[in-house]
């Protein structure tokens, strides 16, 4: 049996078409896009072409796409950039309590530099209530950041609704869409966002590249200084092969998004049903309907997730506990605790994230391995 990869929220395998696009771009457009000679011009044109494809995908203008090294840098640029550029207006930041660490930690640093950070609560399903945003907005609020879809439990936030009321108050609005770009339809005007984070490697593109959408006219300070590439927001020679890979990944995602989404949701729900039939004491985390199609977060009573993951891995099924970046830490996930999930329930949580490689034929095997492993562990508790 081939190993089965069910950790697509941590990263996705690179699409073969993406690898081809990257290789060809690296070979043909090796010059510096800022150079004035013909090879430089060719690279510049190629960069512009790829930027347009990406911009069109989210309903943006090409000059509103700022290429970065990925989701983490985009989040940092959004948070630090908006906070620093607007600190004369105020020093209050409002973020959800289930943000990715790239947002949370950036805000933590800023709170040590005289900024005041408020955390929005979420309900049991991991949703932010737009009314809470309204209540927490202050005269000195300069940025609101609420992620589009959560990487641990998959809950999708009412971004458009939040965006409209944040805009009414004249405050900048950022959403981390690293988990939703390429999976859900995204249009920056419909979502009413000023800043939007995208990471390439969550959508079958290469690692180390992404972008921050920055609405025209947004007051934002750069993080890095130098040659003033990317409209001055992000100096440094552009990673053109990576950008070509990202553009190619988005084109492929666009073509298959709806079909892929409904298939994944179907497989995910079938897997949950199969597990519910064979096991007791399992609870689903996240919103029942407003959720990423491929994400299944389960809390399994009576097992420790790190042990279960090891056992599953020995049997060739690869899943994760909560988020990939926190696997090594012993603290319960901040997402699960914000959702009001007890530490004991959180301790037995598995994140199963399906993707393009997940096949319907494999479901019975996956369900079987999962339930037999849980039963095995429950018989011999560690
Ligand atoms: C993966 C991820 C990031 C970080 O992106 P990198 O490209 O790995 O730096 C940020 N936010 C969310 C929601 C993510 O899932």
Q: What is the Cα–Cα distance from 144 to 159, expressed in whole angstroms?
A: 11
Among residues 124, 96, 125, 94, the alpha carbon closest in space to that of 110 is found at 94
Residue spans of the chain under pLDDT 70:
323-330, 381-382
CA distances, 328 to each of 315, 321, 324 (Å)? 21, 10, 8
pLDDT computed for residue 324 by the predictor: 55
pLDDT computed for residue 326 by the predictor: 47
Look-up: residue for tokens 């508790």? 381
Residue-wise pLDDT tens digits, 59-100: 999 999 999 999 999 999 999 999 999 999 999 999 999 999
Ligand 1 atom at minimum distance from 323 CA: 15
The three-state DSSP-derived secondary structure of the chain is CCCEECECCCCCCCCHHHHHHHHHHHHHCCCCCCCCCHHHHHHHHHHHHHHHHHHHHCCCCHHHEEEECCHHHHHHHHHHHHHHHCCCCCCEEEEECCCCHHHHHHHHHHHCCCCEEEEECCCCCCCCCHHHHHHHCCCCEEEEECCCECCCCCEECCHHHHHHHHHHCCCEEEEECCCCECCECCCHHHHCCCEEEEEHHHCCCCCCCEEEEECCCCCCCCCCCCCCCHHHCCCCCCCHHHHHHHHHHHHHHHHHHHHHHHHHHHHHHHHHHHHHHHCCCEEEECCCCCECCCEEEEEECCCCHHHHHHHHHHCCEECECCCHHHCCCCCCCHHHHHCCCCHHHHCCEEEEECCCCCCHHHHHHHHHHHHHHHHHHHHCCC
pLDDT computed for residue 208 by the predictor: 98
Q: Whose CA is nearest to atom 5 of ligand 1?
A: 71
pLDDT computed for residue 103 by the predictor: 98
Q: Ligand 1 centroid to 84 CA: how many Å?
A: 22
pLDDT computed for residue 374 by the predictor: 96
Q: Ligand 1 centroid to 32 CA: how many Å?
A: 27
What tokens does 239 get?
A: 């990673």
pLDDT computed for residue 331 by the predictor: 75
Q: Ligand 1 centroid to 327 CA: how many Å?
A: 15
pLDDT computed for residue 382 by the predictor: 55
Does the annotation mark 107 as catalytic? no
Q: What is the Cα–Cα distance from 148 to 182, expressed in whole angstroms?
A: 12
Pocket, ligand 1, Cβ cutoff 6 A: 70-72, 75, 100, 102, 147, 151, 176, 178-179, 199, 201-202, 210
pLDDT computed for residue 185 by the predictor: 95
Ligand 1 atom at minimum distance from 72 CA: 9
What tokens does 301 get?
A: 């009573």
Q: Ligand 1 centroid to 378 CA: how many Å?
A: 34
Name the active-site residue from 107, 192, 198, 325. 325
pLDDT computed for residue 322 by the predictor: 73
Handedness of CA 320, 325, 327, 333 (dihedral sign): negative
The backbone region for 211, taken as left when phi is positive above 0, alpha when psi lies in -120 to 50, beta otherwise, is: beta
């Amino acid at each position: 049996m081939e190993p089965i990869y069910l950790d697509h929220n941590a990263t996705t395998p690179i699409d073969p078409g993406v690898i081809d696009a990257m290789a060809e771009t690296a070979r043909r457009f090796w010059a510096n896009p800022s150079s004035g000679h013909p090879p430089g011009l060719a690279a510049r044109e190629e960069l512009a072409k790829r930027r347009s494809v990406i911009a069109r995908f989210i309903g943006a203008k090409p000059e509103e796409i700022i290429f970065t090294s990925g989701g983490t840098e985009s989040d940092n640029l959004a948070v630090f950039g908006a906070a620093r550029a607007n600190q004369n207006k105020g020093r209050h930041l409002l973020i959800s309590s289930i943000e990715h660490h790239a947002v949370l930690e950036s805000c933590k640093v800023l709170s040590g530099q005289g900024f005041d950070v408020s955390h929005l609560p979420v309900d049991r399903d991991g949703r932010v209530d737009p009314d809470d945003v309204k209540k927490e907005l202050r005269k000195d609020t300069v940025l609101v950041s609420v992620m589009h879809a959560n990487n641990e439990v998959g809950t999708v936030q009412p971004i458009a609704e939040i965006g409209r009321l944040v805009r009414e108050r004249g405050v900048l609005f950022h959403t981390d869409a690293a988990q939703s770009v390429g999976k859900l339809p995204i249009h920056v005007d419909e979502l009413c966002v000023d800043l939007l984070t995208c990471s390439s490697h969550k959508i079958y593109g290469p690692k180390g590249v992404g972008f921050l959408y920055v609405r025209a006219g947004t007051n934002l300070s750069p993080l890095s200084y130098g040659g003033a590439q990317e409209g001055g927001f992000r100096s440094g020679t552009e990673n053109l092969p990576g950008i070509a890979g990202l553009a190619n990944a988005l084109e492929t995602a666009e073509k298959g998004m709806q079909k892929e989404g409904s298939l994944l949701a179907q497989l995910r729900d079938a897997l949950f049903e199969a597990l519910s039939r064979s096991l007791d004491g399992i609870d689903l985390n996240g919103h029942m309907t407003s959720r990423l199609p491929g994400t299944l977060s389960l809390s399994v009573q009576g097992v420790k997730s790190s042990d279960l993951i090891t056992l599953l891995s020995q049997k060739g099924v690869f899943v994760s506990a909560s988020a990939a970046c926190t696997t090594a830490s012993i603290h319960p996930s901040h997402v699960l605790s914000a959702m009001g999930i007890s530490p004991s329930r959180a301790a037995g949580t598995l994140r199963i994230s399906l993707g393009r490689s997940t096949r319907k034929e494999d479901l019975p095997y996956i369900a079987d391995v999962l339930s037999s492993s849980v039963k095995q562990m429950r018989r011999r508790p560690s």
